[in-house]
Structure 1
Amino acid sequence: MAKFIGLDVGSKTIGIAVSEGYFAKTHSTINFTENNFLEASEKFNEFLKNNSYKKIIVGYPKNMDGSIGHRVKMVEEFLTQLYEICQVSTEKVVKIDERLTTRFARAILIEANLSRKKQKANKDQLAAQLILETFLQQNK
């Protein structure tokens, strides 16, 4: 049972990490048709049917200057579908500033000397883990 679910939302994938409250661990990646957030939320809804949670922590990728760009609008589009399709209340969703998270995840995977194929397969989950760990550190 996961108390917290971390999400790294992309245009074709959603990385998922889970935590029981102390440490975050990678879980899986949802693949969907590019920018089809209805499909993404339907697939995530299947994940939710098998996993309980207290909060869903979503990476909120603001621009480096703190402004809202197209990546945040993409996350908002997913969240709109999440609230409707998955029947998740807004109180259960926490948005975490995730500037550079994917870049950090990629650097960690390169440092681990993984092949490009393995890096691609794991970067979204690792980014979700970093997002979730940020939340856990802020809420000790």
Structure 2
Amino acid sequence: MTFCNPADLPSLRRPMSRILGLDLGTKTIGLAVSDPFLSVASPIETIQRRKFTKDAERLAQIVEERNIGAFLIGLPLNMDGTEGPRAQSTRDFARELILRIDLPVAFFDERMSTMAVERAMVDADMTRKKRAERVDQLAAAYILQAALDAMPDAHLG
């Protein structure tokens, strides 16, 4: 497969398959999954990053277990919209990923996602420990939900 626009994911995935959202950090990967109708994103887990091969193996397991048909990866742009080293690292990860898992991949601007999620968790009076455990997967869900909401007629399957 190859890279595409988020709006193309509904037509490029297998019918009724889900989209896996990834929020790549330097130490963790937050994961979220869509429903088959591409309406709702739900956080599922946080992977502690190790070697790329181990991370890719876990992602392949999730693809199999959850009927994943595409990836949506948060792209960490600078506040002015330009790409820096973190965005390049994300693109490198995605290039390696599609060599191992043959699914369409799209990127989605993730600026402010972690900040918005952290603010919501503080407002919900979540403990600091709970916030640290869940922030990455909730950020992945936030990014995936924003992309799903921007997809035209995605809910039609």
Q: TM-score range by the shorter chain?
A: 0.7 to 0.9
Contact 1:2 1:18 in 2 (8 A): no
TM-score (norm. length: structure 1): 0.88
Partner of 2:34: 19
1:78 corresponds, among 93, 104, 116, to 93
CA RMSD for the aligned pairs? 1.6
Partner of 2:21: 6
Structure 1 segments unaligned to the other structure (5+ residues): none
Question: When the two structures are aligned, how many residues end up with a matched partner?
Answer: 135
How has the CA–CA distance of structure 1 residues 38 and 69 changed in structure 2, closer, same or farther, with 3 Å as cutoff?
Answer: farther
How much has 1:2 moved relative to structure 2? 5.2
1:88 corresponds, among 97, 102, 113, to 102
Superposed counterparts of 1:99-118, under 5 Å:
99-118=111-130
* Deviations 1:11-36 (CA, angstroms, capped at 9, x unpaired): 11111111111111111111123xx4
How much has 1:39 moved relative to structure 2? 2.9
1:97 corresponds, among 89, 96, 109, to 109
CA distance in 1, matches of 2:146, 2:139: 11
Which runs of at least 4 in structure 1 moved beyond 6 Å after TM superposition? none
2:55 corresponds, among 11, 22, 40, to 40
CA distance in 2, matches of 1:81, 1:25: 25
TM-score (norm. length: structure 2): 0.79
Structure 2 segments unaligned to the other structure (5+ residues): 1-15, 153-157
CA distance in 1, matches of 2:68, 2:61: 14
CA distance in 2, matches of 1:17, 1:61: 17
Amino acid at match of 1:24: A
2:146 is the alignment partner of 1:139:
no
Which of structures 1 and 2 has the bigger CA Rg?
2
Aligned-residue sequence identity (percent) comes to 33
Contact 2:18 2:34 in 1 (8 A): yes
